Amino acid sequence: MSIIQGTAKGGSASFYDFPIGDSLRFDGSSYLSRSLSSTSTFTISMWVKGSGGSNDYLFKSGSDVGLNWIAHDTDGRMYMHANNVDVGYGERYRDLSAWYHLVLQSNSATARFWVNNRAATTNGSTVATRTSFTFTGTTYIGCYSTAAPNYNGYMANIQFIDGQALDASYFGETKDDIWIPKTFDGTSSTGGSTVSTDYGTNGFLLDFSSISGTTINDTAPIDTNHSSANNWTATGF
């Protein structure tokens, strides 16, 4: 059974070519952390399901680049925040029982943000422009810093692609009018075997299928451009 289910079809393997089977529950005080080296061209893809909260940070780097979800009690707005530039204040996402797919793309000078393959906008623009969007330093998943309150909800299939600015079609597809996940294989049109070299030096895949004590293991395949696993430290779980 897939945890990412369409409302019309359920979670059958015949409908989901790439079912996501595991997630991690964040309780408002727990978080993941890791130090990343500098990169300015990258893509973040993740699936989230919230249980309510205020200004919940989903993904935050030491350089003030990240994904935010202001949850139900502040109108259910999701947005990308990068060096004091925000995209995505307009839409409201109030169904806390639903899974949402978030993708943040940066090519150093511009950044874009998608929710379920819908380009988020601010003041009519889908693009945030700045001199540099650099991802570096201690990075957190599930919080702004180590201080609570933090994200309260579920996350699944978190992917960080270092060195490529990709859109949502690399990670999901529309099937019977439902946006569902697919295997990241480095192409926008098809899903197949994961191409390990596409993750890059800082890249990782956290599918939560491999956990060792307080370590959440990076399950992206090891190869030339992704030569060692970028594992994460879990705190408060």
Q: Could you tell me if 209 and 10 are in contact, meaning their C-beta atoms sit under 8 angstroms apart?
A: no
Tokens 């395949």 appear where?
A: 221
Whether residue 162 is contained in a domain is answered as yes
Domain at 106, CATH number: 2.60.120.200
Distances (CA, A) of 37 to 159, 160, 212: 16, 13, 23
From the list 7, 78, 45, the residue with the least C-alpha distance to 183 is: 45
Whether residue 121 is contained in a domain is answered as yes
Whether residue 203 is contained in a domain is answered as yes
Give the number of domains in the chain.
1
Whether residue 175 is contained in a domain is answered as yes
Q: What is the pLDDT of residue 79?
A: 72
Whether residue 8 is contained in a domain is answered as no
Q: What is the pLDDT of residue 72?
A: 35
Distances (CA, A) of 152 to 58, 65, 208, 213: 9, 20, 17, 21
Looking only at the bridges linking them, the beta strands covering 135-141 and 65-70 are unpaired
Beta bridge partners of residue 135, listed in sequence order = 39
From the list 25, 23, 49, the residue with the least C-alpha distance to 209 is: 23
Backbone region of residue 137 per phi and psi (left: phi > 0; alpha: psi in -120 to 50; beta: other values): left
Distance of CA 217 to the CA centre of its chain: 16
Whether residue 11 is contained in a domain is answered as no
Domain that holds residue 203: 25-235
Q: What is the pLDDT of residue 5?
A: 42
Q: Which two tokens stand for residue 151?
A: 């994200």
Whether residue 13 is contained in a domain is answered as no
* Three-state helix/strand/coil letters over 134-151: CEEEEEEECCCCCCCCCC
Whether residue 185 is contained in a domain is answered as yes
| pLDDT (tens digit per residue) in 139-174 | 889 887 776 667 888 999 999 999 999 999 999 999
Q: What is the pLDDT of residue 119?
A: 85
pLDDT in 10s for each residue of the chain, 237 residues: 345 543 333 345 556 667 788 999 998 889 999 998 888 888 999 999 886 666 678 888 876 666 655 443 456 777 776 666 666 656 677 787 889 998 988 887 778 888 899 887 766 667 666 666 777 788 889 887 776 667 888 999 999 999 999 999 999 999 888 899 988 888 887 766 666 668 999 999 999 999 999 999 999 988 888 899 999 999 999
Q: What is the pLDDT of residue 108?
A: 76
